[in-house]
Amino acid sequence: GQQVMQIPQYQHVQEGEDFTTYCNSSTTLSNIQWYKQRPGGHPVFLIQLVKSGEVKKQKRLTFQFGEAKKNSSLHITATQTTDVGTYFCAGRSSNTGKLIFGQGTTLQVKP
Amino acid sequence: GAGVSQSPSNKVTEKGKDVELRCDPISGHTALYWYRQRLGQGLEFLIYFQGNSAPDKSGLPSDRFSAERTGESVSTLTIQRTQQEDSAVYLCASSDRGGRSNQPQHFGDGTRLSIL
């Protein structure tokens, strides 16, 4: 069945360093969504990418959707302690329409 | 209400007991989802409702798990004869439309279930 893999599982960075998490699907996606879950909280929708090669920015966060619509990345520039949490990608299968969540990347930021 | 509401927020019960978890989605949202999240793990899909019907039950881990939705609103997830491996946070999410729509999912705060 369709799988969405996310790497790395964990990342520890010093405040001010950059951070990137990668999401790869075994099948072509119609779109991909990104969510952030703060410690002890629930996932909160960040953004959705639909077009091949699409790049979207939210302040220090840059989201990319691959040309083949099978992978995506989230890059955070100059991390801050408020960026701490787990970032999930969720890919929607072009075939089934089902939204599949990745396992998440947990970011720790040392002040 | 403004967001997805889940109750109880915490539930501690003995192994073998039945539990019922409740989800009130955002008003007007036709799609409703249940997920399970074990400690430090990702989101495990359980079931999806479109209106009152459940076109995708593929994630329910065993026949001890069941869910229903009435009035295109409230949903309950029932776990019978609970086992220790059922301990997890159970998250509910709703969206404006389900199926192949691009609508984001809005999550509740979850029910933290602990089986002794």
Write out the two tokens for A15. 């405040």
Query: What confidence score (pLDDT) does residue A67 get?
Result: 96
Strand (E) positions, chain A?
4-7, 10-14, 19-25, 29-37, 44-49, 55-58, 61-65, 71-76, 85-93, 99-101, 105-110
Q: Using one digit for the tens of pLDDT, what is the confidence trace for B104-114?
A: 999 999 999 99
Is A85 an 8 Å CB contact of chain B? no
Q: How many residues does chain A have?
A: 111
Is the preceding omega at residue A8 within 30 degrees of 0, hence cis?
yes
Cβ pairs A/B, distance under 8 A: 42
The answer to whether A13 and A42 have CB atoms below 8 angstroms apart is no
Query: What confidence score (pLDDT) does residue B55 get?
Result: 80
- pLDDT-derived band at A61 (thresholds 50, 70, 90) equals very high
Chain A contacts of B59, Cβ < 8 Å? none
Spatial CA neighbour of A6 closest among B41, B91, B99: B41
Query: What confidence score (pLDDT) does residue A1 get?
Result: 67
Query: What confidence score (pLDDT) does residue B34 get?
Result: 96
Decide if A43 and B42 are in contact by the 8 Å CB cutoff: no
The answer to whether A29 and A92 have CB atoms below 8 angstroms apart is yes
Query: What confidence score (pLDDT) does residue B99 get?
Result: 64
User: Which sign does the torsion angle of CA B57, A22, A78, A31 carry?
Assistant: negative
Q: Using one digit for the tens of pLDDT, what is the confidence trace for B49-106?
A: 988 888 888 899 999 999 999 878 999 999 999 999 999 999 999 998 766 677 899 9
Mean pLDDT of A36-60: 96
CA–CA separation, B52 vs B98, rounded Å? Answer: 12
Q: What is the dihedral of CA A7, B105, B97, B29, to 10 degrees?
A: 170
